[in-house]
Amino acid sequence: MMFKKGCLEKAVVLGLVLACPYNAVYAADYAAGVNWNSENNRTIDDNYDISHGKSVIAISLGRCTDIVINSKEVNATVIGDDANIVQGLSSICSDVTVADGIKITSFIQSDTSAGLRAFGVDLIGTNADPNKLVLGKNTVINVEALGGSYNNVYGIYNYEKNDITLGDGSSVVVKNNSGNADAILHDGSNSVNSNVTIGDNVSLKADITNGQAGAKNHASGLNNQKGDVVNAGDSLYIEATSITQADGARARVDAVNNLYGAETAIGDDLVIAAKAKGTTGEIKSYAVYNYQSEFKTGANAVITTSAAGNVDNSNVNAWAVINQDNSQTTFGDNVKIQARASESGLSVAVLNQTDSIVDFEGSLYVDGEGFSLYSTGGAVTNALAAGKDKILIGDMYSNSDGQINVLLDTADSLFEGAALIGTA
């Protein structure tokens, strides 16, 4: 099996740890609770609380089948000057079912190390041998990195081919001092896709608290970079925040990243909240970034974004929905979209570009402050549902063969702003 550098390092650690199913194993560079390779039809019932000064894998599974995890508490902690990596559950090409109500907590802290890595669930699969992971109802995953910079923190890290289910009522919360924070991230090659099923009433939160200059300081709730198929139920809540106090530091949020052939469909009552805040650096807050992909919501979606820099910083963007490069975004009935930027910045509710399509299938409230609808490069934006109230606050702008088609046919419909075609 081929691994990229980061995955190879994890695989080496996995191979080094001696098999020990129910007692922690400690060595100079790592600690582990369970480490199984090529095991079949096994059950893990115990809880784990494993700590070390450099690296921890609480539960590690490699090429195992029919593994059932009944544990209720899995804690992995790394604190020390040489802190490196912490993983709650690591699975390579395995078949795993986790019972309802598990709580997985991964924590890493260092006052001297940079590039800390923290994973709640870490999955590596291949086309020939994917992971199959079922996380039961009311799963709780909490991951945090403190200290250092250029850290990477992931709730569920999905590399290459995996089939993942996250049960109803589950919660994934990630916090990072500085660097990257992703509640769910798919990584790997464009040609290898995963299937992700998310139940009802699930919460995904990513928070960067003190982004440093030079780091990306990028937060995402659902970050599908390479073309997963994601199906989510009703009442999904996604929140992503990136805050920095350092002058010149970047703060960026993509609450939902849907890129390179991704297909994401979400049920009714979706809530997405994105927030980026800094001083003089590049401040970007995007609630939905859809690129070369398909994104669809049910009814009653609420999507908000805000970005703030200092009073003179014009490099501040709050764009609630971005739809680019032959992408399709579809909103169900009764959608609310709002974008807010600090005074010197730019706010756009829906930015549609490059031969893409945005369809509003029912009523809508779109408040861009700067622009409500912005369509360029042959992109088409449609809000044509008959008999549905449509409220648009902010200018509508199109150029380069972009189109905006809006039907205002009810007494309560409203457009407040200018309708612009190019410079006209």
CA distances from 96 to 42, 201, 230, 308 (A): 10, 23, 19, 43
3-state SS, 29-83, equals CCEEEEEEECCEEEEECCCEEEEECCEEEEEEEECCEEEEECCCEEEEEEECCCC
| pLDDT recorded at residue 10 | 43
Question: Which is more confidently placed, 10 or 56?
Answer: 56
For the chain, the residue count is 424
> pTM (2 decimals)?
0.93
For residue 8, pLDDT over 90 is answered with no
Question: Which is more confidently placed, 19 or 274?
Answer: 274
- Please give the sequence-ordered ranges of beta strands (E in DSSP) within 246-363, or none if there are none: 251-259, 263-266, 271-277, 283-291, 294-297, 302-308, 316-324, 328-331, 335-341, 346-353, 357-360
Across 8-17, 207-216, 378-387, the highest mean pLDDT is recorded for 378-387
The pLDDT tens digits of the residues spanning 305-347 come to 999 999 889 899 999 999 999 999 999 999 999 999 998 899 9
Q: What is the token pair recorded at 310? A: 């200092």
The pLDDT tens digits of the residues spanning 235-268 come to 999 999 999 999 999 999 999 999 999 999 999 9
* Mean pLDDT score of the chain: 92
| pLDDT recorded at residue 227 | 76
| pLDDT recorded at residue 27 | 65
| pLDDT recorded at residue 336 | 98
Longest Cα–Cα distance of the chain, Å, equals: 73
pLDDT band for position 15 (cuts 50, 70, 90): very low
The candidate with the shortest Cα–Cα distance to 356, out of 402, 317, 390, 305, is 402
**pLDDT average, residue stretch 134-157:** 96
Q: What percent of the chain has pLDDT over 90?
A: 85
Residue with tokens 């949020």: 253
The pLDDT tens digits of the residues spanning 107-129 come to 999 999 889 999 999 999 998 99
The pLDDT tens digits of the residues spanning 271-295 come to 999 999 999 999 999 999 999 999 9
| pLDDT recorded at residue 18 | 33
| pLDDT recorded at residue 2 | 31
CA distances from 270 to 300, 337, 405, 424 (A): 7, 12, 25, 37
The candidate with the shortest Cα–Cα distance to 79, out of 43, 111, 57, is 111
Query: CA Rg, the chain, in Å?
Result: 22
| pLDDT recorded at residue 273 | 98
Residue with tokens 């139940």: 199
The pLDDT tens digits of the residues spanning 93-103 come to 999 999 999 99
Written as one letter, the residue type at 43 is T
| pLDDT recorded at residue 265 | 98
For residue 26, pLDDT over 70 is answered with no
